[in-house]
Structures are given as C-alpha cells and as structure tokens.
Amino acid sequence: MTAKPAKPSVQSAAEAAMRADKAVVIGLNAAIVTVSESAPKILVVPHDEADGTGGWDALPFGPFNPLQHRTLEIGLRSWVQEQTQLELGYVEQLYTFGDRGRHSLEIEAPGEHVVSVGYLALTRSHDETLKGAAWRDWYQHFPWEDWRDGKPPIIEQAIVPLLREWVSRQAEATPDELSRGKRRDRMRLCFGVDGVDWDDEKALERYELLYSAGLLQEAARDGRPNALALTEKNVPPLGRPMQFDHRRILATAMSRLRAKIKYRPVAFELMPPAFTLYELQKTVEALLGLHVHKQNFRRLVENAGLVERTGRMSTRTGGRPAEQFRFRREVLNERPAPGLKLAPSRSRANS
Amino acid sequence: MTAKPAKPSVQSAAEAAMRADKAVVIGLNAAIVTVSESAPKILVVPHDEADGTGGWDALPFGPFNPLQHRTLEIGLRSWVQEQTQLELGYVEQLYTFGDRGRHSLEIEAPGEHVVSVGYLALTRSHDETLKGAAWRDWYQHFPWEDWRDGKPPIIEQAIVPLLREWVSRQAEATPDELSRGKRRDRMRLCFGVDGVDWDDEKALERYELLYSAGLLQEAARDGRPNALALTEKNVPPLGRPMQFDHRRILATAMSRLRAKIKYRPVAFELMPPAFTLYELQKTVEALLGLHVHKQNFRRLVENAGLVERTGRMSTRTGGRPAEQFRFRREVLNERPAPGLKLAPSRSRANS
DNA sequence: CTTATATATACTCATTCTGAGTATAATTAG
DNA sequence: CTAATTATACTCAGAATGAGTATATATAAG
C-alpha cells in the first residue's frame, strides 16, 4: 500500500476532467415557497415551446457563473433578487440532479450538459405581481398530496387502479413473487394502501413512483416506455406537469420542508411578525397537507418556547378574539432549536 | 402579469450559460465509511504536493462524465468500483459545494472551475489492502467529536481558549453587544459551553466554526485572514487536515450519518449478516461518538422490530455468550422503517 | 470445585410525552 | 338574549423514555 500508485489515477482523472467533453453547465433552480390563504404557493414562470410542453410551468432558474459568484447560494440569491425582487429568507440546498433525459433536450447544445442544483427558499407572503411570474398553489401540481379534506379522490379513482395495473404488468414480465412484491410494496408504502398510514414526508418518493410507473406527462415527454402505453389509453393528467425536471425538484422541496418543519422552526419564515396560533397552525397544515389537533398544537408551540405573547389581540371575524404571538428568536440560541413535532389529527385527516 | 416578459430573461440566461466562461467541471467526492473495531473509518487516498499540503489525506474523487453516465450517482459508483473494488451498499448525496478558495487552486485551470458534489457511502468492514488507499479512523480528523471516553481534552485545552479569543477579537472590531453575542452563541451551541448539551449531529457546524475562526490548517492554506494571525502564534493543529474541502465533506457526512442513523435503519449496512446486539451498539456508539444505555438500546432495537434472533450464539471471550441477531429486512416494507432513536447515556458520556 | 469477574438479558419504576378529549371564556350574528 | 363560533385552559389514560436492579451464563483464578 504505497502512496504513489493511486496518485496517477486520481489526479489524471481530475485533469482529464478539464477537457471540454466533461464540462457541464450548472443550472440553479429555486423552489420559492410562500403560504397565503391556507395554501402553499410556489413561484413559477411561464414557459412556451413548440414541442408540446407549451404552457407547462417552470421554476425560476438561472445559470451559475463561477467567476461572478463565490458560492452557489450567492449565485442563486443574486439572480432571484434580480429577476423577482423577492427577498428570500431561509434558503436551503436540496439536491443536485445530473440525469440525462429528465428534461426536454432542446436546451442542451450538442456535447454540453446541464446539471441542476435545486434550492428551497421561503419567503413571506406578498401579493405584488412579479413580472412574468406567478404564485401557484403547489397542490395543483400534486393533487394527491392534500389530505386536509380527507383522502383526495384522485388516489382511489385514478392512481391506485393505474398502479395496480403497473404492479400486475411486472408480474407478467418477471413472474417471480419477489420482484412483483417490490412494486406492490412501493405502492403500499407510498400511497398508504392496505392499512399503511399516509406519510406526508414521502412526497418525493410518490412522485418518483408515479414517474417510473409512467403515469406522469413528464414521463411521456421523456419517452419512458411505460408512459407510451398509458398515453394511448387516454389517462387523464395527474396534476399539472412542469418543465424539465422541475416537478421533481418541487417534490423534493415538499418532502424536505415537511420533514424540516418538524424539527426546526422554519415555519416562522412564512409568518408575518405577529400572528395568532391558529394562523400558524393553518400555515403548518397547508404545508403538511394534514390537519393537526388544535389544542395539542398550542401546547406544543408554547411549551417549546417557540413563541411569546404580544399582548395585542387579533380583530378577527367569528368567535372570541385570539391573542397575537411573535416568534421567540432566542430559541435559536438555546437548545438545538426545535420544530413543530406534530402528529396528524386522526379525527379529520382520515375521513 | 403576462407570460411573455419573463421568458427572454430566463431563457436567454440559460442560453448564455452555454458559453465556456460558465462551464464547470463536476468533481464527485466520496466519503466512504466503514466501522471496524469500534472505530468509524474513512477511506482516504494519499496526496503529495509541493505546496505544503503534502501528506494531507484526500477523499477519493473523480470527475463526472455526463456522456458516460446517466446520473451522478451512477458515475460515482462506477469510478469507486473501478478504483477501489469496494462494493458500496448505501449511497447518499450530501451536498454540492461551489466555493471558490476552499481548495488549493492548482487544480483549476485558468478560467475553469470545479464544483464538487459530496457523497456518503457505507460499506461493510473489509480488511483487504486497497491500492494506494487506506482506512483512517475519522476521529483523527475530528478529535473533538469522540466523547466515548468523556469530553475530549482538546476541547478545554485548545479549542475553547482559542474560540474565546476569537470571540473577544470581534468584540474589539465591532463593539456592539449584539454581534459579539453572535460569536459567543455559536461557540456555546457548537461546543456545549455554559451548560449547553453536546449535540453529536452538529459536526459540520463545529467544523465550519473552527474554519471561520481560522483555527484549522485548511483556513491557513486558503489564506483566511484570521488564520494567519494564529499560525504565527504556533497553534497546534486541530485534527488532521485534508486536501481541498474534503474535511468539510467528511464533516457533512458525519453530521448526516449521525442524524440518519436515528430515524432510518442504516447502521445495518455496516454490520455483518449476523451480529450480537452489543456489536451493533458498539457500531452505533462509534458513529455517534457517544455511549448509549445498553439495556434501553436492546429494548429499542427489539421493540422496533429491527432485528430477529438467529438462534446461534456468539463464541465470545468474557462473560455469558450473546445471541446473534440479523437485520429484519421486512421492516423496510412495514411502517416508514425506523432507526435507532437513542439518547446518550448520561452516566458515562459526561464524565 | 469454588469464587470472582465479566457480560447478557430480563424486569421494574418514576417521569415525561402524546393523543384525544372535556370544560369554559369571549366574541359576533341574529 | 340566545345561538353559533372561535380561543384557550385543563384532564386523563396510555406510550415512550431514562435510569436502574436483578438474574443468568459464561471464563479465569485459586
């Protein structure tokens, strides 16, 4: 085990990378999220191409210029600021995708390749019209993810039957019990079939399952074999598709945010300076796509020291006025700053 | 809010990115982890340069060739396999770093830029010598992270005094109480000063804190202003440095793995097919750098249905023979597959 | 063979955390 | 004034958690 032998291979590999055939362009994609009127909204820019994907939303994206920006995040903030005038609060890197064939190819010049880095950004609700961009309820892209009014009908009416067909199609191809079970298990775990509970954090897994089952328009666009068969059968679109792999990035953002909200106080990035506990709850429920138990939610938020009273009351319609609270920034300097560990309320979520 | 206006800016930006000045090379870095003899080991390749960083370990890395590999992960698996003959089990993307100035620059040709994507990979312990590579106990790079024998002396003897100086240095520069408090709070939360508990998952935050305080040799290499002053003062090295930003990637891997082990059954990727519960515990403790309560650990692992008995006994030295268990793969198909939610044992951890 | 020592494993117990209610207070709509 | 509506406080059983104690089964020493 001498030091020398490894060096040539590793180093020369790195040097070989310098050549143009391995050069890629970094695309920075931002899933910019806000919540207003109990709906999580995602910032989209319109996209029109003659290739059949016209009208599909795209996430705002821009290239990373390494000469201009020291880090990827700085690069992202810079062009988002420039293009949207939004001030981003929380920003988090999600994932870097390098897949060939997961976005329409016309953007790639021959011999060049785009690697896309996805970011999640949160911003406080704000109604100004952004030039050319729009806020879209993210459940338009993921209608199966919103369980606030009970199980979304699209699951039993469309998704489960189509997936069952996909499961049995594999059964024909590979008749061994084991690998058929795999597809069935994936379906069960993702969509909560056969008594498995719904897991709000599996948004990405569900998207990927639907994609690989060929049930999404993106899969058809990418020419996935499964998808072609279904296109012929006139399967209705499952949610609004998005350009490139942007719906996948959005799914990643949803999963990450739904997980993060439970152990870090990120929900407050979406709230105004003062808010009632019920407003906070509505925001959280919007993101999770679930209802939570109101009294326990209060207890949790107050016991964790996440908020403090302002003394002011909210002039609301309806019943008794609610007190307004503010985020206790100090928690960030106390213990590892907790989030909103909450369990879905059985009473309404599973109706 | 028409659709048109945004299109030119977004699209043309993407097209502009095609030009060579924005092209970058993707470097794939692998933090390949195993555990043997109660020590977490990281695979390193030697690196010798005449620039003063000779002898620093490097993580194995290779370029991503988009023409050859469909996804980043496939590219990574491919050259790791090629270079090390290791079979990777679990692989997870960690983070994509684009920072200029966080690695010695000689690798970058003028006008070109390396963006590095870090990966965490787990592999079962295996003693064969790998050509040119070596397994290194990861605590050699992070001596402050191993609390299994009580608080590591380096914290009180070196780190805390140096950080205090760094805190007070800011107090001079910006005398306002608020921003001085920021440095102090960072120190407190990271290193568990003033009654704050040690958080094993903050490995990355601690590394970044030490780096930005200029206490690491990498900071000196990168010419960080803080670091220069300290080099003069003959500060002893805090842990073994690594080439480029590889120690940061390793810190990211540690943080991610320490977090993940608590909610996903990844520890079993590091275990042989059959193992005793104490062996499993030792592995987990090695990764966390903490002791856990033995009886409660057993209860947790068994109640969660993570293991099943094999009936065979372990022929061990010492006391009563222990039963061997195996991982219950079925948990993956049951509920969202839990991990090893464990609390550090107060009795020995804080000695 | 007996005893000390070491480890494995089972069982206990107080405390806290959770999930799910009930009870009561303060508003507005009629 | 009453019903409806929302806010907030309080209760309670069961599960999970942290920390032991008790007992079983081996090896090593004498």
pLDDT digit string, tens, across residues B257-294: 999 999 999 999 999 999 999 999 999 999 999 999 99
Structural domain total, chain A: 3
Is position B250 within any domain?
A: no
Is position B180 within any domain?
A: yes
pLDDT in tens, B27-36: 899 999 999 9
pLDDT of A134 > 70? The answer is yes
pLDDT of A284 > 70? The answer is yes
- The whole-number average pLDDT for the span B111-119 is 82
Domain of residue A276 covers 272-349
- Indicate yes or no: CB of A45 within 8 angstroms of CB of B336: no
Both A134 and A165 in one domain: the answer is no
Locate tokens 């690196």: which residue?
A: B47
Distance (Å) from the alpha carbon of B189 to chain A's nearest alpha carbon: 7
Both B226 and B301 in one domain: the answer is no
B321 CA → D23 C1’, Å: 15
Contact list in B for residue A67 (CB cut-off 8 A) is 21-22, 111, 113
Is position B217 within any domain?
A: yes
Both B119 and B158 in one domain: the answer is no
Contact B345, B148 (CB under 8 A): no
Residue A106 pLDDT: 45
Which residue, A110, A140, A170, sits at the end of a domain?
Answer: A140
Residue B147 pLDDT: 94
Q: Strand locations in chain A, DSSP E?
A: 23-36, 39-44, 61-63, 91-97, 114-122, 134-137, 275-276, 307-313, 323-327
Q: Which residues contact B74 (CB under 8 A, 6 or more apart)?
A: none
Is position B254 within any domain?
A: no
Nearest to A259 by CA among B264, B284, B90: B264
Contact B156, B255 (CB under 8 A): no
Residue A301 pLDDT: 95
Residue B98 pLDDT: 84
Nearest to A255 by CA among A50, A128, A92: A92
Residue A132 pLDDT: 81
Is position A231 within any domain?
A: yes
Residue A6 pLDDT: 36
Both A60 and A98 in one domain: the answer is yes
pLDDT band at B166 (very low <50, low <70, confident <90, very high): confident
Residue A55 pLDDT: 82
Segment among B1-10, B96-105, B324-333 with least mean pLDDT:
B1-10
Both A107 and A86 in one domain: the answer is yes
DSSP-assigned letters across all residues of B293-329: -HHHHHHHHHHTT-EEEEEEE---SSSSPPEEEEE-G
Higher pLDDT, A15 or B175: B175
Higher pLDDT, A317 or A107: A317
| CATH code where residue B293 lies | 1.10.10.10
Residues 187-226 of B with CB under 8 A from A: 188-189, 196-197, 199, 201-202
- The whole-number average pLDDT for the span A7-12 is 40
- The whole-number average pLDDT for the span B64-72 is 87
Q: Please tell me what DSSP assigns to residue A82.
A: H
Tokens of B238: 């805090």
Measured between alpha carbons, how far is B208 from B228 in angstroms, rounded to an integer? Answer: 17
Both A136 and A40 in one domain: the answer is yes
Is position B264 within any domain?
A: no
pLDDT band at B193 (very low <50, low <70, confident <90, very high): confident
- Indicate yes or no: CB of A336 within 8 angstroms of CB of B115: no
Which residue, B102, B121, B140, sits at the end of a domain?
Answer: B140
- The whole-number average pLDDT for the span A295-316 is 92
Is position A1 within any domain?
A: no
Measured between alpha carbons, how far is B106 from B108 in angstroms, rounded to an integer? Answer: 5
Q: Please tell me what DSSP assigns to residue A320.
A: S
| CATH code where residue B70 lies | 3.90.79.10
The backbone torsions φ and ψ at residue A81, rounded to the nearest 5 degrees and listed phi first, read: -55, -45
Tokens of A155: 């699951």
pLDDT band at A350 (very low <50, low <70, confident <90, very high): very low
pLDDT band at B183 (very low <50, low <70, confident <90, very high): confident
Which residue, A140, A164, A197, sits at the end of a domain?
Answer: A140
What's the mean per-residue pLDDT of chain B? 83
Instruction: Provide the 10 A C-beta neighbour count for residue B320.
Output: 6
Is position B39 within any domain?
A: yes
Determine the angle formed by the axes of helices B177-191 and B203-212, rounding to 10 degrees: 140
Both A128 and A160 in one domain: the answer is no
The nucleotide minimizing the C1' distance to residue A347's CA is C20
Both B128 and B180 in one domain: the answer is no
Measured between alpha carbons, how far is B284 from B40 in angstroms, rounded to an integer? Answer: 9
Segment among A323-337, B125-139, B237-251, B292-306 with least mean pLDDT:
B125-139
Nearest to A65 by CA among B119, B65, B100: B100
Is the CB of A295 within 7 Å of strand C? yes
pLDDT of A76 > 50? The answer is yes
Q: Which residues pair with B42 in a beta bridge?
A: B33, B136
Q: Cα–Cα distances in Å, from A96 out to A110, A231, B348?
A: 21, 29, 41
* SS3 state of residue A217: helix
Both B286 and B338 in one domain: the answer is yes
Instruction: Provide the 10 A C-beta neighbour count for residue A15.
Output: 12
Q: Is B179 on the interface with A (CB under 8 A)?
A: no
Residue B14 pLDDT: 42
- Indicate yes or no: CB of B4 within 8 angstroms of CB of A132: yes
pLDDT of A282 > 80? The answer is yes
pLDDT in tens, A319-333: 899 999 999 998 888
Q: Please tell me what DSSP assigns to residue A130.
A: P
Nearest to A132 by CA among B8, B14, B1: B1
Segment among B103-107, B116-120, B137-141, B192-196 with least mean pLDDT:
B103-107
Both A122 and A175 in one domain: the answer is no
Both A160 and A74 in one domain: the answer is no
pLDDT band at A315 (very low <50, low <70, confident <90, very high): confident
Torsion sign over Cα B160, B161, B164, B165: negative
Residue A101 pLDDT: 65
How much of chain B exceeds pLDDT 70, in percent? 79
Measured between alpha carbons, how far is B247 from B235 in angstroms, rounded to an integer? Answer: 19
Residue B240 pLDDT: 95
Both B113 and B181 in one domain: the answer is no
A321 CA → D1 C1’, Å: 21
